Amino acid sequence: MNDNKISTRIAELRREKGLTQEELGALVGVSGQAVSKWESGGMPDAVLLPQIASALGCSIDYLFGCEKSVQDISRDELYDIVFKNLSGKISQKEICSVQIEIAWILQCAFWEYEKRVPMKEAMDYHSEFAQVSSQNISDYGVNYFSLTHGFPIFYAVPENEGISKKILSEADFSEFFSLFSDEEAFKVVIFTLTEKPEAKRCTAKVFAEKVGITEEKFRELCPKLKKFGFINEEVLSLDDESIKTYHTWANPQIVPMLMIAHEYIHKRQCYYNFTCNRKKPYLDK
């Protein structure tokens, strides 16, 4: 055992926690004088080690300098640490904010900060700007983080040799984006995101009235809306008559797409961090 190591680590962790010797002693069940002796080279009683580690937010191995360094931890072990520390410990309400915080930590790690910069601190520091972002662009991929208050976005696109072919050969972008350039079609798309999921099926006339467009326009848009999954059509057989009914089919992927479009439309970035050492084009011909 290395007494000097544990003495140093108790003192360092106590200061990082903002605790006095008396406060740490109270958490562990000893006097502040006892803590002072530990930090001066004394050895705590073995039975107190779990309480000390818990109060300081570390493991007993760390106190003794036996814990693995980051360099010794494999990628899978790192993933397991994150998983085990989060699994079952956060609510559904918290999970989205936790995910975005983790994304920010990943970006902080790229910038090689000596310590983690809290996301709220970074956002507050630049709060006078309408739009703040952090970007890393390289030949290995692209990632983007919006630090604007109330407008969190993170996306990462690792370099993929087949992505250009998949994007450009498998989609009719002109037909899809025409729904967003047509004001009345855009109304329907937004309606699908604002209507409650349990909304009842209704006829074309009622659906059009709810959206605020004409029935003729709704019928004109129907093929595209059905093709891209914004509405669902069903035929009800009533005696000798068949009636077409419609209901919304919300696609949550539209929300982040609209948020990214919002960033393009309101191009007022104040870059918090930005690096670009990319030499390759973004798409292959």
Domain positions in the chain = 3-67, 72-158
In this predicted structure, the answer to whether residue 152 has a pLDDT above a threshold of 50 is: yes
| Beta-strand relationship, 131-138 and 269-276 | parallel
What pLDDT sits at residue 70? 60
Mean pLDDT is lowest, of 41-55, 63-77, 195-209, 266-280, for: 63-77
Length of the chain: 285
Mean per-residue pLDDT, 257-263: 91
Strand partners, 246: 202, 233
In this predicted structure, the answer to whether residue 150 has a pLDDT above a threshold of 90 is: no
pLDDT digit string (tens) for 222-242?
Answer: 999 999 999 999 988 877 788
Ranked by mean pLDDT, which of 41-55, 150-164, 207-221 comes out on top? Answer: 207-221
Phi, psi of 74 (to 5 degrees): -75, 165
Alpha-carbon torsion, ordered 252, 223, 170, 160, to 10 deg: -10
| Contacts for 145 with CB less than 8 Å, ≥ 6 apart | 103, 104, 107, 133, 134, 135, 153, 154
Report how far residue 124's alpha carbon sits from residue 132's, in angstroms, rounded to the nearest whole number. Answer: 11
What pLDDT sits at residue 198? 66
Mean per-residue pLDDT over the chain, rounded: 87
Mean per-residue pLDDT, 254-278: 88
Residue ranges with strand state E in 100-240: 131-138, 141-146, 153-158, 231-238
Mean pLDDT is lowest, of 2-6, 60-64, 211-215, for: 2-6
In this predicted structure, the answer to whether residue 22 has a pLDDT above a threshold of 70 is: yes
Mean per-residue pLDDT, 181-194: 94
Q: Which of the four pLDDT bands, split at 50, 70 and 90, describes residue 206? A: very high
Q: Is CATH 1.10.260.40 correct for 3-67?
A: yes
Q: Which of the four pLDDT bands, split at 50, 70 and 90, describes residue 191? A: very high
What pLDDT sits at residue 3? 46
Q: Please name the residue ranges forming H helices in 111-169.
A: 119-125, 163-169
